[in-house]
Structure 1
Amino acid sequence: MFSRQLADTLKRLATTFPVVAVTGARQSGKTTLVRQLFPDRPYVSLEDPSERAFAAEDPKGFLARFSSAGAIFDEAQRWPDLFSWLQGMVDADRAPGRFVLTGSQQFGLLSGISQTLAGRVGMTRLLPLALGSELPLAQVRQPGLDALMLRGFYPELHVHNVLPQDWFASYVATYVERDVRQVLRVQDLATFQRFLRLCAARTGQLLNLSALAGETGIAHTTARAWLSVLEASDIVHLLPPYHRNFGKRLVKMPKLYFVDVGLASWLLGIGSADLLALHPLRGALFETLVVGEFMKARLHAGQPPQLYFWRDNNGLEADLVFEVGTRLQTVEIKSGQTVTPDYLQAARKATRFAGDEALQPWLVHGGSDSYERSGVRVLGWQDAPYQDKP
């Protein structure tokens, strides 16, 4: 059993809101976490056809079982009427932490909540295991960086001795493709699989949706719809450009990242650490890992990510940018284990757009050493302060 940082956030929200909700990718540990934190709540999976049929045929009778003790409703978006019924129940009794909802599709859960339960729900998102704070570093150091980028951070892969290629093949077939079929009624799964692999080949890169659609052989609107499902299911994340204009011509397209680096590696057909070490996308995959860790730290603490990148038409770029009060923290991400003068120069250059607002730049690299050098805070990938701000 892994200790999840989101547990403290959920406990806090459950003392204030009558309903708490957890969204996030399938198999990220939502059900395990809420059942561990709220053992006194009856558990109902709305993936169960018999429970869903009972709810549809006799909603009052279905919910009467939970009027006093409350309940955990797993995959709540599978019965959309639940949110309207819960509104009346929590308005009559606003006891905090009474109901717990989970959902693997953000738009399904969020649309129901925004229409009927706004102001009554504490919202959270659970991503796969976070490095260091949730996945112990002792468990990370043994296989090494490349092996970890192949395995990724889904809890199941660190609990059981299962090969990543076997697990990810099943995961995509049973969860990702099923979600797409449920939401968009996609019939041509072969084309969707090609789309998914082409997305993986673009992790860490600017998203050109027209080029992605053209290479897949689908319409631009179809590509946008498919990408929205992947984003809402926490398979991919779109990192926006920093929103302030510092007098430059800015790139306005977002950057595409997979939430889990292991899934991206599998979709790229990388089957071993030796192959990954020589792969042309190793740098992009390492950047995917680092950006994902910054995301997890914020989301699991109950905060919005508020992470950005910066790039202008003159080639000035910062891989990651976030605000610290009125100042800006830039992060340069390099997969090499040896910190070179070029790495340090790139880290310093990344702060130029922010002028006096820039803090000391960070350089997260693929080695293990952390120190300060030439005005740059150099951070090993295992030691980077994903949770902390200066």
Structure 2
Amino acid sequence: MIHRNLTAELDRAATWAPSITLTGPRQSGKTTLCQAAFPDHPYRSLESPDDRAFAQRDPRAFLAQFPRGAVLDEVQRVPDLLSYLQGIIDADPTPGRWILSGSQNFALLESVTQSLAGRTAMHQLLPLSWDEIRRFAQYPASLEDALFGGGYPHIHNRNLSPSDWLRSYVATYIERDVRAIGSVGDLTTFQRFVELCAGRTAQLLNYSSLADDCGISQPTAKAWFSVLEASFIAFHLPPFSMKLRKRLIKMPKLYFHDTGLACWLLGIRESEQLRSHPLRGALFETWVVSEVLKHRTHGGRSGGLSFYRDRHGAELDLVVEEPDDLTLIEAKSAATPASSLLAGLERVRPHLQDLRSRCDAAVVYGGEDVQQRTPGRLVPWRLVRSAAPPEVEPLVQVFVDGRPVPDAGVLAVFPDRTWKSARTDEQGRATMELLPRHLPLTVFVAKDGFAAHEEPAWIPDERALHVHLRARPGAGAGVFEGVEPGSEVPVVVKRKAVTIDLVEGAHRVLELDAAEGPDPTEPGWARRRRFLVRVAKVLDGAALVEYSPADDQPATNP
């Protein structure tokens, strides 16, 4: 089982909320996550006929089995149980006792709203995000495989064929979940409606057009789409709203939560079909938007996402709003980093960049290189996470032999070769504020007596980057600030200063008296020892310099 990004939010909720309610699509990993996050809680699923019958027949006795709380799965199957749980929580509001989960958002939310309002922390677990998928030993190697495979955990955990698994998933969804709703009478027509929605992913949500193409009324189309939203199959993205701007489009856009499911509904049975499929661009846009949504949802954020389109044709796929920041994101499936990919940003950014104190812009595209252009960054699809604003404070923690290392130098180098630095505290932690344009970053950690550490292409998530330094007697490294490329800088090696030109790759051999180096009484040591001083990294205003013994044996006397 891999680590899910929502775990940190559940842990936080368990410190203050007497109950936690977890919703999400069927088979998104809710049961696995609940059991992993709360291993000491008893687990019961109300899908089990015996447990469900017991809970329906005698809810008080059922709940009395768990004096310290429990994980109760599929609780929407016995909605009356929550009324009895309300009394238990009111009598003992100890945080983190009751963990509730369910797949039918419409039924579960109605029950929670009626019985547990103000007593539960609500969270959603969506299918796997790309950075979660990459934690598996095997993960999609190409963009087409990523779009086709989607994010349902069973596909990746068991290395299953997406087509085979999704065929069963759709059949179960239509025959079981939708039938249970009752308001959908014609299941065959409803499946046709779902397929039509898949063909309109990343397009404006036009109920009239959907109704006409499906042969149903417009109110029915609206009701059926609400079913797709409540069961986490699809969602709508609202248009960006600005006061006094009447020229903006007011119709929302339709997206699927999972591109693998959308592909199956569109009749795509092999990932290679996506190389030339007419909906490749729409599916890629769906993937990018859903990735940003997952990132925010699993980080405990809601709302703040919209798209921009005006009546003059200017449009942008995604606007991410924060109190002080705007992030503008465009999705382009082309693999070549051409200037034309930034045309949308160039047209829209002037309308929005003055609305916040900071405005960042990025195009996520189907290529492999990070590039900084004047309108914004070009971000390869593999680094889609770096296009969205970080939701947590980036953190590096440095250890040696399991113990924190204080006063280590941390140098973060960004794609445009700008940088920030910090030093670790007594707990070995270093923090710094990052913006989306800083990602991915390369992290260098330097400390006297240890080999320097380099972590390339790192993207912060809710977990700290744990760096384990390797002790190396006689060696060390340091981060120098306020220096310029090409200048000389004094480097202190074993209490002796030496100057070296700040040219990347430059090196100098230094000879030290044994008394200034390691213990001169150590067997085999002569009077002098040779050290190699090397400039590992040079930036505008900062440098990383390493030193180490020039050879494994003590130098001989001259």
Q: Is the TM-score greater than 0.5? A: yes
Deviation at 1:252, TM superposition (A): 1.0
Deviation at 1:138, TM superposition (A): 7.1
Deviation at 1:375, TM superposition (A): 3.2
Aligned alpha-carbon RMSD (Å)? 1.6
Give matches, 1:87-126, under 5 Å. 87-126=86-125
Decide which of 309, 317, 320 is 1:319's aligned counterpart.
Answer: 317
In structure 2, relative to structure 1, the CA distance for the partners of 1:265 and 1:98 (3 Å cut) is: same
Residue-by-residue CA offset, 1:253-307 (whole Å, 9 max, x unaligned): 1100000000001100011222111111000000011001101111111111421
Task: Select between 377-386 and 28-37 the one with higher mean Cα deviation.
Answer: 377-386
Per the alignment, in what secondary structure is the counterpart of residue 351 of structure 1? Answer: helix
Cα separation, 1, equivalents of 2:58 and 2:108:
21
Per the alignment, in what secondary structure is the counterpart of residue 325 of structure 1? Answer: coil
Decide which of 201, 222, 225 is 1:224's aligned counterpart.
Answer: 222
Please identify which structure carries the higher strand content: 2
Per the alignment, in what secondary structure is the counterpart of residue 126 of structure 2? Answer: coil
Give matches, 1:370-381, under 5 Å. 370-381=370-381
Residue-by-residue CA offset, 1:142-179 (whole Å, 9 max, x unaligned): 2x110111111100000113211111110011134421
For 2:55, give the aligned amino acid.
A
For 1:225, give the aligned amino acid.
A
The answer to whether the Cα contact below 8 Å between 1:331 and 1:364 also exists between their aligned partners in 2 is yes
Residue-by-residue CA offset, 1:83-105 (whole Å, 9 max, x unaligned): 11111000000111110000112
Deviation at 1:347, TM superposition (A): 1.9
Residue-by-residue CA offset, 1:40-92 (whole Å, 9 max, x unaligned): 211111112222221121112211112x1211110111111121111100000
In structure 2, relative to structure 1, the CA distance for the partners of 1:223 and 1:19 (3 Å cut) is: same
Corresponding residue for 2:83? 84
Deviation at 1:333, TM superposition (A): 0.9
Give matches, 1:26-175, under 5 Å. 26-66=26-66, 68-136=67-135, 139-140=138-139, 142=141, 144-175=142-173
Structure with max Cα Rg: 2
For 1:326, give the aligned amino acid.
D
The answer to whether the Cα contact below 8 Å between 2:133 and 2:151 also exists between their aligned partners in 1 is no
For 2:71, give the aligned amino acid.
I
In structure 2, relative to structure 1, the CA distance for the partners of 1:376 and 1:175 (3 Å cut) is: same
Identity of aligned residues (%): 49
Task: Select between 158-167 and 132-141 the one with higher mean Cα deviation.
Answer: 132-141
Deviation at 1:309, TM superposition (A): 0.3
Cα separation, 1, equivalents of 2:156 and 2:132:
15
Cα separation, 1, equivalents of 2:85 and 2:106:
18
Corresponding residue for 2:418? none
Deviation at 1:210, TM superposition (A): 1.1
Cα separation, 2, equivalents of 1:367 and 1:138:
23
Cα separation, 1, equivalents of 2:161 and 2:280:
20
Cα separation, 2, equivalents of 1:119 and 1:135:
37
Cα separation, 2, equivalents of 1:38 and 1:361:
39
Corresponding residue for 2:458? none
In structure 1, runs of 5+ residues without a counterpart are: none
In structure 2, relative to structure 1, the CA distance for the partners of 1:236 and 1:13 (3 Å cut) is: same
Corresponding residue for 2:232? 234
Cα separation, 1, equivalents of 2:73 and 2:333:
39
Per the alignment, in what secondary structure is the counterpart of residue 44 of structure 1? Answer: strand
Per the alignment, in what secondary structure is the counterpart of residue 242 of structure 2? Answer: coil
Give matches, 1:144-223, under 5 Å. 144-223=142-221
Please identify which structure carries the higher helix content: 1
Corresponding residue for 2:369? 369
In structure 2, runs of 5+ residues without a counterpart are: 391-434, 436-558
Cα separation, 1, equivalents of 2:265 and 2:254:
15
Cα separation, 2, equivalents of 1:113 and 1:52:
18
In structure 2, relative to structure 1, the CA distance for the partners of 1:139 and 1:370 (3 Å cut) is: farther
Per the alignment, in what secondary structure is the counterpart of residue 73 of structure 1? Answer: strand
The answer to whether the Cα contact below 8 Å between 1:44 and 1:73 also exists between their aligned partners in 2 is yes
Give matches, 1:252-331, under 5 Å. 252-331=250-329
Cα separation, 1, equivalents of 2:387 and 2:41:
33
In structure 2, relative to structure 1, the CA distance for the partners of 1:6 and 1:270 (3 Å cut) is: same
The answer to whether the Cα contact below 8 Å between 1:46 and 1:52 also exists between their aligned partners in 2 is yes
Cα separation, 2, equivalents of 1:116 and 1:64:
18
For 2:72, give the aligned amino acid.
F
Task: Select between 107-116 and 289-298 the one with higher mean Cα deviation.
Answer: 107-116
Cα separation, 1, equivalents of 2:132 and 2:167:
28
Deviation at 1:197, TM superposition (A): 0.4
Q: Report how many residues are paired.
A: 388
Decide which of 332, 335, 349 is 1:334's aligned counterpart.
Answer: 332
For 1:233, give the aligned amino acid.
S
The answer to whether the Cα contact below 8 Å between 2:184 and 2:224 also exists between their aligned partners in 1 is no
Per the alignment, in what secondary structure is the counterpart of residue 34 of structure 1? Answer: helix
Cα separation, 2, equivalents of 1:185 and 1:113:
21
In structure 2, relative to structure 1, the CA distance for the partners of 1:378 and 1:130 (3 Å cut) is: same
Deviation at 1:350, TM superposition (A): 2.3
Deviation at 1:352, TM superposition (A): 2.8
Cα separation, 2, equivalents of 1:174 and 1:260:
16
Cα separation, 2, equivalents of 1:40 and 1:137:
26
Residue-by-residue CA offset, 1:207-266 (whole Å, 9 max, x unaligned): 001110111111222211111111011110111111223524121111000000000011
Cα separation, 1, equivalents of 2:245 and 2:389:
30
Per the alignment, in what secondary structure is the counterpart of residue 131 of structure 2? Answer: coil
The answer to whether the Cα contact below 8 Å between 1:2 and 1:135 also exists between their aligned partners in 2 is no
For 1:164, give the aligned amino acid.
P
Deviation at 1:377, TM superposition (A): 1.1
The answer to whether the Cα contact below 8 Å between 1:21 and 1:102 also exists between their aligned partners in 2 is yes
In structure 2, relative to structure 1, the CA distance for the partners of 1:137 and 1:293 (3 Å cut) is: farther
Deviation at 1:335, TM superposition (A): 0.5
Per the alignment, in what secondary structure is the counterpart of residue 101 of structure 1? Answer: strand
Cα separation, 2, equivalents of 1:213 and 1:167:
29
Cα separation, 1, equivalents of 2:156 and 2:196:
27
